[in-house]
Amino acid sequence: MYRSHVLICGGTGCTSSGSAAIEKALVSEIEKNGLKEEVQVVKTGCFGLCALGPIMIVYPEGTFYSMVKVEDIPEIVEEHLLKGRVVTRLVYQETVTDNGIKSLQDTAFYKKQNRVALRNCGVINPENIDEYIGEGGYQALAKVLTEMSPDDVIQTILDSGLRGRGGGGFPTGMKWKLARNIVKDADQKYVCCNADEGDPGAFMDRSVLEGDPHVVLEAMAIAGYAIGATQGYIYVRAEYPIAVERLEIAIKQAREYGLLGNNIFGTDFSFDIGLRLGAGAFVCGEETALMTSIEGNRGEPRPRPPFPAEKGLFQKPTILNNVETYANIPQIILNGSDWFASMGTEKSKGTKVFALGGKIHNTGLVEVPMGTTLRTVIEEIGGGIPNGKKFKAAQTGGPSGGCIPAEHMDIPIDYDNLISIGSMMGSGGLIVMDEDNCMVDIAKFFLEFTVDESCGKCTPCRIGTKRMYEMLDKITRGQGTLEDIDKLEELCYYIKQNSLCGLGQTAPNPVLSTLRYFRDEYVAHVVDKKCPAGVCKHLLSFEIDPEKCKGCTLCSRVCPAGAISGAVKTPHVIDKDKCLKCGACIEKCKFGAISKK
Amino acid sequence: MSKTKNTVSFNGTAEQKDELLKVIAEKKNDKGALMPILQKAQDIYGYLPIEVQTIISDELNIPLEKIYGVATFYSQFSLNPKGKYKISVCLGTACYVKGSGDIFNKLQEKLGIAGGECTPDGKFSLEACRCIGACGLAPVLTVNEDVYGRLTVDDIDDILNKYAD
By C-alpha distance, which of A407, A358, A421 is closest to A387?
A358
Residues from chain B contacting residue A203 (CB–CB below 8 Å): 131, 133-135
pLDDT recorded at residue A106: 87
The alpha-helical segments, DSSP class H, found in B28-99 are 34-45, 50-60, 64-73, 93-97
CA distance B136 to B92: 12
pLDDT recorded at residue B163: 92
Residue of chain A whose alpha carbon sits nearest to that of B37: A296
Decide if A280 and B76 are in contact by the 8 Å CB cutoff.
Answer: yes
In this prediction, residue B8 has a pLDDT band, given cuts at 50, 70 and 90, of low
Residue A57 C-alpha, separation from nearest chain B C-alpha, in angstroms: 19
**pLDDT reading at B82 higher than 90:** no
Residues from chain A contacting residue B135 (CB–CB below 8 Å): 13, 50, 201, 203, 355, 357, 363
pLDDT recorded at residue B126: 93
By C-alpha distance, which of A147, A127, A128 is closest to A139?
A147
β-partners of residue A393 are: A405, A433
CA distance A195 to A234: 7
Domains of chain A as residue ranges with CATH: 4-105 (3.40.30.10), 129-341 (3.40.50.11540), 351-434 (3.10.20.600), 439-528 (1.20.1440.230), 541-596 (3.30.70.20)
In this prediction, residue B14 has a pLDDT band, given cuts at 50, 70 and 90, of very high
pLDDT recorded at residue A184: 79
Q: Tell me whether strands A100-101 and A96-97 are parallel, antiparallel or unpaired.
A: antiparallel
Low-confidence ranges of chain A (pLDDT < 70): none
β-partners of residue A91 are: A65
Please report, to the nearest 10 degrees, the dihedral formed by the alpha carbons of residues A280, A283, A284, A286 taken in order.
Answer: 150
Nearest beta carbon to residue B97 from set A280, A359, A398: A359
**pLDDT reading at B99 higher than 90:** no
Q: Spell B146-160 as b/e; 16+ CB within 10 A means b.
A: ebbbebebebbeebb
Residue of chain B whose alpha carbon sits nearest to that of A457: B73
pLDDT recorded at residue B3: 46
pLDDT recorded at residue A11: 86
Contact assessment for residue A329 and residue A201, using Cβ atoms and an 8 Å cutoff: no
pLDDT recorded at residue A501: 93
Nearest beta carbon to residue A200 from set B73, B76, B131: B131
pLDDT recorded at residue A217: 98
Mean pLDDT of B109-120: 88
By C-alpha distance, which of B100, B102, B120 is closest to B111?
B120
> What is the ipTM for the molecules in this complex?
0.83
pTM of the prediction? 0.90
Hey, what amino acid is at A338? D
β-partners of residue A344 are: A349
Decide if B130 and A295 are in contact by the 8 Å CB cutoff.
Answer: no
Four-residue CA torsion sign, A305, A309, A315, A321:
positive
Cα A81 from chain centroid (whole Å): 35
> What does pLDDT average to over chain B?
89
Residues from chain B contacting residue A53 (CB–CB below 8 Å): 136-137
CA distance A226 to A175: 11
Residues from chain B contacting residue A51 (CB–CB below 8 Å): 136
pLDDT recorded at residue B1: 42
